[in-house]
Structures are given as C-alpha cells and as structure tokens.
Homo-oligomer: A and B are copies of this chain.
Amino acid sequence: MAGASCAIRGTFFDFIDDPWKHIGHEQDAARFIHDGLLVVKDGVIVDFGTFADVSLHYPNLPVTRLPNRLILPGFIDGHIHFPQVRVPGAYGNQLLDWLQTWIFPEELKYSDRDYARTSARYFFDALLSGGTTTCLAFTTSSPVSTEEFFDEAARRNVRVIAGLTGIDRFAPDDLLITPDEFYSESQRLIERYHRKGRNLYAITPRFAVGCSGEMMDRCRQLKLEHNDCWINTHISENPSEIRTAHYHFPGCDDYTHVHEKHGLLGPKFTAGHGVWLSNDELRRFSKAGAAIAFCPLSNLFLGSGLFRLGRATDPDNPVRITLGSDMGGGNAFSLVRVLEEAYKVGMCNNTMLDGSVNPRDKDLAEAERNKLSPYRAFYLATLGGAHALYLDDMLGNFDKGKEADFIVVDWNAGQHAMRWRQSLIVEGAGPETIEQAAQLMFGVMTIGDDRNIDETWVAGKRSYKKTVEAPQF
C-alpha cells in the first residue's frame, strides 16, 4: 500500500480486545501509552510502544510531537450514504416517505458526473474533519456515482468499501436499475476498483423492499463469483418497512430469512439498523458471522426506534457490531455524535430493562451491556468496527503491520462546558492513567463533537487540521 512515512510521539489510546468480554475490568481490553512512539513507513505501522523503548531502535528518526492530545485509531463508519451528503436534516417524514420525498430526487442528480465529483470532495472533507478514516458506503444505482466515489477515495488514499447500489422497484424510474444491468455493471466496477489501492468493493442490494427476488439472486451470483467482495444492505429499520418487506417476500418467515434464502447472510455481510430484529434473528446473525451497523443518530432522527445493543452483545450469541452515521438519515458525520446518541439509546432502553415500568421486562444483565462506557464506545468506533467489517487484519488499532490511520483528539475543544468538565479529571498536560484517558473520552463523546478532532492522519500523512477558535464576551 502506498503511503507516507512518519514518527509520532504522544499519548496513545487504542484497543486490543472487545471490552464486552471484560465486564468489570474493561480497561484490560484497552491500551494506553502515556509517552509513546508510533513509527510509520509507507503508510504502515512498523513499530509502536513507549518512546523510551521504541526510540532506541531509531536513533536518527525525525519525530513529530503532538503534546496535550490523545491519539486514537481513525474512526470507522459502517453505514453511510455518499449521495446524501447535501441533504442531512430533511424534515418530517419516517423512512419510506422520507426516501420518496427527499432522498430519491437528490440521488438522481448523481448520474451527473460534475455533481457527483463535487459531492465526493464534500463527502471526504466532512468525513476527515469528523475523524472518520474508513467507511462502508452506499452510492446510487448510477455507475457514475460509484466511479466518482472510488476515484476521490483513491485521491485521498483512504480505505473504503462501497459499491453500485441496486434498486429495481419503489423508486423513481430513473433511479431504478434492472437486475441484468446491475449484474453487468457490478462486474465491471469490481474489476476496475476492488483491491485497487485502498478501495474495496461491496455488492450492494439497497434493501429488500426495493429489491426484487431476481435482484437478490443476482447479488447471490455476484457473491459466488467474487467471494472476496463485501455485501452491504439495510435490515429491519422501521415497522412499516418490515411489514412491506414481509408482504413482498411472502415465503420468508422474517426479514433475516430474505437474506438467508438468497445466500447473502454470512461473513463480510453488513446490514444497517436491525432495530426491530427478534432475538432469534440476532442469534442467526451471530452464527453466520454477519454484522449489524448500529445507527443511533439516524434511528432517532427518523424515529425508527431503539436498537438493543445489550441484546446484540449477549455473550452466548454476540453479533458483530459496527457504528454507522447513516448520514443523511443521521444528522451528523462525526462518530463522536453517533456515540453520544448510542449512549442515549442504551440509557432509554435501560429504563425498560430495570423493571420499573414493567417488572416482566427486567433484565439487568442486558441492561449492563447496554451501558456505553468509553471503552465500549471507542472500541466500536475503531477495532470493533474493523472486526465487524472483516478489516481488523488491516486496521483498527496500533498493532505493527496495520495501516496508519489515526486521529488527534483535543479533549478540551467544543462547547464551553467541555473545558470545565474535563478539568475535574485532569489538569495541565493530560491523562496519566488509562482510566483518566477513558473519562476524558467519555466527555468527548457526550459533550463534544467534530471540534474535538484536531487532526486526522491517513496512511501516515496528515490530511486534516482544525484551526483554533476563541470566543469574545
């Protein structure tokens, strides 16, 4: 992989395991190096550890110091729509109406190459300024949008997964693509982009409501012919959508069965939302090694419902979970804001699970798993997302051999309340223990936003730097 070389000295915080496996001592899943050194060659991490240890081996290496900051792996967004970059915050409709009224008309514009190219620049600007360095993205049914997405990703040298987005019913005619055309265009785009530079390809049936059985069969065929490719779709977002899907696939017992029947559920399969999945469907996701993208910003903005994270992390049947902004269904790009809402979803679920509303719903073990500690939160945003997307051999933490995508967090930036809150945890030069680092990062996820991302580095090169602001009273 092409990339830059650098050596970064600072305070590092990343993950080496899943914190849900370490209940009561979650810090065992994390790694904190107060004075660390990260050595990157051609975009890949070649050494990492304490400055005292690692620097011995590199006596003449020029070192970039990043003081008063926490350095984390870049965030991973497991569910986002490239052609919705200009229309977040659309008013007043739940999923199916919202698609027809706001989204499909906008997505139609992406068959225009200039519009798609300009939007691709916007998209990656927004991603990088929010600290996201990898995403699994939808494009449109127009190959133009897919091409412009991959071309811009290559110019930025970011690791992305995306694909032509198939829909053959329930959308404006010009947005539909026939199963045959979807198949042949997908073939062409896989040849052109998959594993070229950092681009990876996902076979992408938009969602079962918009995809006929024939379209789903074409997806199965593509997966059989290109087993190395990913699969990206939606599932069980909204009750009306679920009823509609059930109506159009009468032979299927539930929404998950639609994907099982068409041979799609398995490793490298990711479906957005899963808000209303039954316990049985979650177990089948777990067994299949399939992933769910938890999109709390969007689930609240579109009123879809509260995803049961504590149920999906059942230790007997753990489902692979990645976070998704689902921008434009979500109303922000930064995973920091996604984590804020993920925390709130867990807290709202827990008012049911503590039995105070209905004693029959009491489940304190599930409630505990719903609590999004900073360890769990930033695991999901980094290594957990990489694990869910089958990218953890390439990225997700600071292990040697991984790609050097990372962010530089200013724990004091953002709204004015931030600084005073954080001063109760540390003064001056910053955290000295893993627990302090975690508490600061909890402040970032609950009080912060994209302003806390001071720098974003991609494959060893600084690709974004925030400027300073100061208020006047």
Chain A residues engaging chain B, CB cutoff 8 angstroms: 85-89, 91-92, 94, 119, 122, 125-126, 128-130, 238-240, 243, 300-306, 327, 331-334, 340-341, 343-344, 346-351, 354, 356-357, 371, 373-374, 415-417, 420-421, 423-424, 439, 442-443, 446-447, 449-450, 463-473
Chain B residues with Cβ below 8 Å from A466 are 469, 471-472
* A465 close to B469 (CB less than 8 A): no
* B467 close to A354 (CB less than 8 A): no
Q: A428 to B466, alpha carbons, bound, how many Å?
A: 25
Chain B residues with Cβ below 8 Å from A305 are 348, 351
> In the complex, what's the smallest C-beta–C-beta distance from A434 to chain B, in angstroms?
15
State the copy count for this chain. Answer: 2
* A88 close to B447 (CB less than 8 A): yes
* B417 close to A239 (CB less than 8 A): no
Most chain B CB within a 10 A radius of its CB, from A423, A424, A472? A472
Q: A424 to B464, alpha carbons, bound, how many Å?
A: 26
Q: A371 to B463, alpha carbons, bound, how many Å?
A: 40
* B354 close to A94 (CB less than 8 A): yes
Identify A467's interface contact among B87, B302, B303, B472, CB under 8 A.
B472
* A347 close to B303 (CB less than 8 A): yes
* A447 close to B89 (CB less than 8 A): yes
Can you list 20 A-B contacts with CB-CB less than 8 angstroms, sorted by A residue number? A86-B420, A86-B423, A89-B421, A89-B446, A94-B347, A119-B420, A126-B415, A239-B351, A239-B356, A243-B356, A301-B446, A303-B349, A304-B351, A305-B351, A331-B340, A332-B417, A415-B450, A464-B473, A466-B472, A467-B472
Chain B residues with Cβ below 8 Å from A91 are 373-374, 439, 442
> Which chain B residue has the least Cβ–Cβ distance from A95?
B351
